[in-house]
Amino acid sequence: MVPALAEILASARVVALPMNTRFRGVDVREALLFEGPQGWAEFSPFTEYADAEAATWLAAGIADAWHPRPAAVRDGIRVNATVPAVAAGRVAEVLARFDGCRTAKVKVAEAGQSLADDVARVRAVRAEMGPEGRIRIDANAGWNVDEAERAIHALAPFDLEYAEQPCATVDELAELRERIRYLDIPIAADESVRKADDPLAVARAGAADLLVIKAQPLGGAERALRIVAEAGLPVVVSSALDTAVGLSLGAALAAALPALDYDCGLGTASLFADDVADARPRGGLVSAARVIPDPSALARLEAPADRREWWLDRLTRCHALLAAGDR
């Protein structure tokens, strides 16, 4: 059941979190937080997403605030560092914010940058992490098949753990996977899962070796667990640039998985200069416990009035879609 809109609005807080480094095209990450019977939850679809897609994110927040989280089989989650598309000279500065992380996800294929920039960045990460560090790259579907093959071949000497969403479509991922089989670098699917009408299509097509799972875009932890079980592939639980509240939902999902073979992308609190609670990794781990936002942080990070109204209007529209059964 979808709770009444008034129940959500009663506690709704819109926050704007400043970032240490521009990431995913933003310097400030906005989110709407609200409290239900089980605790605080988050609604933070990216601003460019249409209401139909955003409503799935609201369903995840409602489920988290009104229903118990799945049973956990672990208390702590090992996480990766995330390196935005920064110049190679800034890599050490970025990695220093991720205490104890043995794995780094490096953004590549950034608009306006070149393959040489990607190579320099990944080389710098390898130099900082040493031979035992794990490096994965994330292209956010930024390459076609030919570009992806060339880029992965150029980056292969840095001992890649996997390449995340190098191309946009399931067919492209399948073709690329065949082309680079000789390199023994797995392909991970992210957008092909969380933005797809059928999140299992990529697994059925044999287009990926593992899946990147995000709780909010998939409608919550329970639905994500069902997708993982049906897909039958290893998974990495990652964040959608969530606040500490949303990250705790991702950690709850990761904590409930029977197997967790890869470090998770849930250390992204270290990308923020300020947050509603401290969810940064310690010793390469984050807690699976539910987060309670700090009242003083909620006040300090409150979004401007016009942005608050924008988010409340969006919440109202998405709630109407859920109430009507359209999502």
Kindly state the DSSP code that residue 63 receives in the 8-state scheme: H
- Our answer to whether residue 195 is catalytic in this structure is no
Q: How many CA atoms lie within 13 A of 237 on its CB side?
A: 32
Q: Which of 13, 69, 78, 107 is catalytic?
A: 107
At 187 the three-state DSSP class reads: strand
Report how far residue 279's alpha carbon sits from residue 42's, in angstroms, rounded to the nearest whole number: 14
Type of residue numbered 298: L
164 is in an annotated binding site: yes
| Strand-strand pairing, 285-287 and 76-78 | antiparallel
30 is in an annotated binding site: no
- Count the helices and strands in the chain (H runs, E runs): 12, 12
CB 237 within 8 A of CB 249: no
209 is in an annotated binding site: no
Report how far residue 285's alpha carbon sits from residue 267's, in angstroms, rounded to the nearest whole number: 8
CB 207: neighbour CB atoms within 10 A? 22
Q: Scan for tokens 């989110």, then name that residue.
A: 31
Report how far residue 282's alpha carbon sits from residue 79's, in angstroms, rounded to the nearest whole number: 10
When computed from its CA atoms, the radius of gyration of the chain, rounded to whole angstroms, is 19
What distances in angstroms separate CA 44 from CA 93, 146, 213, one per listed residue?
Answer: 27, 34, 16
Report how far residue 302's alpha carbon sits from residue 28's, in angstroms, rounded to the nearest whole number: 12
- Our answer to whether residue 105 is catalytic in this structure is no
Per the structure block, which two tokens stand in for 216? 């909010």
Q: Which of 136, 214, 280, 308 is catalytic?
A: 214
Report how far residue 8's alpha carbon sits from residue 322's, in angstroms, rounded to the nearest whole number: 13
Task: List binding-site positions for Mg(2+).
Answer: 138, 164, 190
Task: List binding-site positions.
Answer: 138, 164, 190
Tell me the catalytic residues: 107, 214
